[in-house]
Structure 1
Amino acid sequence: MRRKSLLAFAAGATLALTLAACGASASQSPGGAAGAPIVLGASLPLTGQLGGFGPLIQSGYEQGVAAINAAGGVNVGGSKHQLKLVVKDNKSDPQQVTALSKSLINDDGAAVLLGSVTPPLNIPLSVVADLEQVPAVMSLAPTLAWMGANKDGWKYAYDVFVDETQQTAVNFQASDLTTTNRKVALFTDTEEDGKAMGALWESEAPKYGYTIVYRAQFPVGTTDFSQFIQKAKDSGADVMIAQVIPPDAVALWKQMKALKYSPKVAFPEKGGGFGFDQALGDVAEGACVFGWWSPTNGNVGGQAVYDAAKAKYGDGLGAQGIVATYAVVQIAADALSRAGSTDPTAVNKALSQTKDLATVLAKITFGPDHRSVLQATMTQWQRAAQPTVWPADQATTKFLAPVPGLVS
């Protein structure tokens, strides 16, 4: 059921935002009377299997909202409005995403929904957005798996992240930083992105001179990987690529170490982000995970936001996640201002017309498929940081190989 507009204002206003770094303050911008706050609603995994991501995403949203409000708020139809963020815990459960997203619209009056993380949580959010005809903007969900869940294309949902074809290529390109036998062992779970990524690694490997010699497939929540690890060892693969959730990645790495499987390059994709090193200590050293933010991506103020986030989340994907979610708020605020209204149809049209919007993440343009595709990089755990190691023109440190944390 389509939700009625919360506010109705004249169209044609332009965004009056000063993009501020996290914690910055600014005086109230002149012009326009103050209006009621505009609600941005987010259903996040604050607990559950993906609970490590939720507080980080919430922090990025809070920082984006705080910076916009400190700069005077959003100018919608000539009236200034503060943004109000409402967050609810989906407990890493897709069914909870559905229920809570509807509640954010119907009970809390959300004008725009903000995304969660991974396709399993962002896809049900997108379904609700289309059914309720209320816009949703998200990041941290690879775009092909997200698109593949709706063959007719999303109408009210928008995704800002990497394309999996490019993402899977980065694993092979980064592997070229050292000498290997070019044999690859895959470990992929059976969630949407595990299936999609595994198929892409299999199809892309020959293009880069690599051969998939073994692939393990298992359900999310697997705790014993020993049989798969032994088969990977027996295959002789120097390159190991996994697509697993964080708890599974930690268990897999511990067992690889215990069973003395030490490939020259190893990638715990999805599961090797913020908190991976805290759970593993020295065993995490040298693990590689793709990234999505760089100072060269045409962003405005992104370095300041990233540097501020490093104090809490370290130099790596945690801080990159803050930059991405901060930018989602900027995208939503820009669309609200250009729409001149909180009418969902008007905001959705404005989102679809987003072009070359400079955010802290990158310049954002949505194509007809409602994607804005970011360039993937490669990071590597080195002590307590995840510096970029590929591509060469963005690398901030030397690549470590073979994987130090797995060497017996």
Structure 2
Amino acid sequence: MEIHATRRDLLRATGLGLTGTMLSACGGLGSDNSSDENTGTLKIGFVSPRTGAAAGFGEPDAYVLDLARKALAGGLTAGGTKYSVQILDRDSQSNPQRAAQVANDLINSDAVDLMLTTSTPETVNPVSDASEAAGVPCVSTVVPWEAWYFGRGAKPDEKNAYKFTYHFCFGVEQFHSMYAHEWPQVPTNRKVGVMWPNDSDGNAIRAALGPLLEQEGFTIVDPGAYTNGTNDFSAQIARFKAEGCEIFNSFPIPPDFATFWRQAAQQGFRPKICQVAKTGLFPSQIEALGDLGIGVAGGAYWTPTYPYASSLTKAGGKSLADGYRTATGKQWNQQLGPSLALFDVAAAALTATGNPKDRAAVARTIGTLDVETPVGRLRWGQGPNANVVATPILGGQWIKSTDSRDKVEFVLVENSSDPNVPTAAKLQQYGRR
């Protein structure tokens, strides 16, 4: 479905969102660390939130980085030359200023050949901006694509706004499709109480997603943007109760949702559907809510049932999840898929470029790249614009785990963005379990 948005709406959405270790893989290669631009080492920077409010996204980083190191231990061959590979990872601390700082350090001090970054606009957008300004090719993910594209200053009529920065992720249309197919599975009065924050994610969702949901016949009850870090949501809860809202939707940072949901329970607001995004993505976030987390609905941009595999490591969905369990003792985390996909893109782009030390050439290669990853086949140049590949987000719900090793598990209830991924259940009314 086409999104009908005015130029003003898109411009209002321009802020959308939602200690480094060098990992060197230099085993028996046919070249040394020469300074000659056509030999030696390729350096890949990787920036993600390992600590801070968005730390849940970084939980699988160590495992993914280990997979990438092993896969790249033999180096890469491009243009007839073999290169060793170094991965330099940095923690953004979930802070935009820190993200920009570590990105600039990787660019200026470490001279990375390619930048990778993931998870929330607070990390991804500053890293992408630093890379674009310095002429360093960069690939990013796990920020709604409108947040990344328009949030960095692209105009609505621009189809090729950036020369060096590329992105793959779901967008507003995928959220719209998910909600439109998922929410009718539970009978409601179609009144949606929304808590969309006064940040880049919330403001763009308000401008773009709200009207789409209204076109589907949902009534949006919006008490207005709130400030991240709010500790009293009594006014919003009272409004939702007074309006009789039977669906709740929010795009909050994890601490804010935990505060709101506990206060909602205390004050008697119990919607039939509780749908959250940006939080409620990972088992650790749901477990922290105790019984209040059971029945919360969320979105998934990767699960072990995705029928795709990494072109770099050859790991499919189940083997990726099982390997993570074996290595860490933890159940799968959906960030495994897109984080590994970044390295699939990196390896494919570098090897497909005649001279991978030529940053502009690598950027041009990414712009026409076609690569298999755990989240599916990524093909740049197919739209929605030259810099972006739109990927699926599917609907699911947290239930009590049937595996004695885990407290909760996530089951898919909706797959409109990618019917190749099977569903396992129907959405159940919150509180009925």
TM-score bucket of the superposed structures, by smaller chain: 0.7 to 0.9
Return the alpha-carbon distance in structure 1 between the equivalents of residues 42 and 67 of structure 2.
14
Give the 5 Å matches for 1:161-176.
Answer: 161-176=169-184
- 2:428 maps to what in 1? 401
1:44 matched to 2:68? The reply is no
Specify whether residues 106 and 239 from structure 1 end up closer, same or farther in structure 2 by C-alpha distance, changes over 3 A only. Answer: same
Tell me the residue number matched to 1:352: 367
How many angstroms apart in 2 are the aligned matches of 1:389 and 1:57? 27
Query: How far off is 1:233 after superposition?
Result: 1.4
C-alpha distance in structure 2 between counterparts of 1:358 and 1:103, whole Å:
31
**Percent of residue pairs identical:** 25
Unaligned runs of 5+ in 2: 1-26, 33-38, 401-407
SS at 1:66 equivalent: helix
Q: Could you tell me how far 1:187 is from its partner in structure 2?
A: 0.5
Deviations along 1:201-235, whole A, 9 cap, x unmatched? Answer: 32111332211133442111122212111211111
Post-superposition shift, 1:42?
2.2
> 2: CA distance between counterparts of 1:313 and 1:90?
25
Whether the 8 Å contact between 1:33 and 1:78 is mirrored in structure 2 is: no
**Which residue of the partner structure matches residue 54 of structure 1?**
58
- Distance change >3 Å, CA 200–CA 310, structure 1 → 2: farther
The CA deviation string for residues 115-148 of structure 1, in whole angstroms up to 9 with x for no partner, is: 1311232111111111100011111111011111
Aligned pair 1:286/2:295, yes or no?
yes
User: How far off its partner does 1:100 sit?
Assistant: 1.1
The one-letter code of the counterpart of 1:373 is A
Question: Which of 97, 100, 115 is the aligned partner of 1:98?
Answer: 100
Residues 73 and 107 of structure 1: is their aligned pair in 2 closer, same or farther, counting only changes over 3 Å? same
What is residue 335 of structure 1 aligned with on the other side?
349
The residue number in structure 2 matching 1:9 is none
One-letter amino acid of the counterpart of residue 338, structure 2: A
Q: Matched residues in 2 for 1:352 and 1:346: separation? A: 10
> What letter matches 2:285 in structure 1?
F
Distance apart, 1:401 and its partner CA: 2.6
One-letter amino acid matched to 1:142: P
* 1:65 and 1:84 in contact (8 A); partners too: no
Correspondence 1:82 to 2:84? yes
* Letter aligned with residue 366 of structure 1: W
Measured after TM superposition, the shift of residue 370 of structure 1 is 0.9
Say if 2:232 is the partner of 1:224: yes
Of 126, 149, 153, 1:150 maps to 153
Q: Following the alignment from structure 2 to structure 1, what is the Cα–Cα distance between the partners of residues 307 and 379?
A: 13
Instruction: Give secondary structure in 1 for the equivalent of 2:176.
Output: helix
The AA in structure 1 aligned to 2:340 is Y
Q: Could you tell me how far apart the structure 1 residues matched to 2:142 and 2:153 are?
A: 18
**Distance change (3 Å), C-alpha of 1:354 and 1:215:** farther
**What RMSD over aligned residues (CA atoms) do the two structures have, in Å?**
2.4
| Partner Cα distance (1:43, 1:83) in 2 | 17
Given that 2:412 and 2:423 are in contact with CA atoms closer than 8 Å, whether structure 1 keeps it comes out as yes
For 1:243, give the aligned amino acid: F
Aligned to 2:337: 323
Contact 1:42 1:104 survives alignment (8 Å)? no
Q: Corresponding residue for 1:11? A: none
1:282–1:365 distance in 2 versus 1, CA, 3 Å: same
TM-score normalized by structure 1? Answer: 0.84
Q: By how many angstroms is 1:343 displaced? A: 1.3
Partner of 2:378: 364
**117, 131, 134: which one aligns with 2:133:** 131
Letter in 1 for 2:301: W
Q: Which 10-residue stretch deviates more, 208-217 or 269-278?
A: 208-217
Which residue does the alignment assign to 1:112? 114
* 1:342-378 deviation line (CA, Å, top 9, x unaligned): 21111111111102x1122210111343111112211
Amino acid at match of 2:276: P
Matched AA of 2:394:
T
Number of matched pairs? 373
Partner residue, 1:376 = 393
TM-superposed deviation, 1:43: 2.7
- State the 1:396 CA deviation: 4.1
Which residue of the partner structure matches residue 3 of structure 2? Answer: none
Check the 8 A contact 2:43/2:86 in 1, yes or no. Answer: yes
CA contact (8 A) 1:220 1:245 kept: yes
Aligned partner of 1:272 in structure 2 is: 280
Question: C-alpha distance in 2, partners of 1:310/1:216?
Answer: 41
Question: Cα deviation per residue 1:123-179 (whole Å; 9 max; x = unaligned)?
Answer: 111111111000111111110111112225222111111021221331232101111
Of 387-396 and 333-342, the range deviating more from structure 2: 387-396
Could you tell me which runs of 5 or more consecutive residues in structure 1 were left unpaired when the two chains were aligned: 1-27
Aligned twin of 2:24 = none
Are the equivalent residues in 1 in contact too, given 2:394–2:414 (CA < 8 A)?
Answer: yes
Taking the aligned partners of 1:37 and 1:59, their CA distance within structure 2 comes to 23
- Does the Cα contact within 8 Å between 1:183 and 1:239 map onto a contact in 2? yes
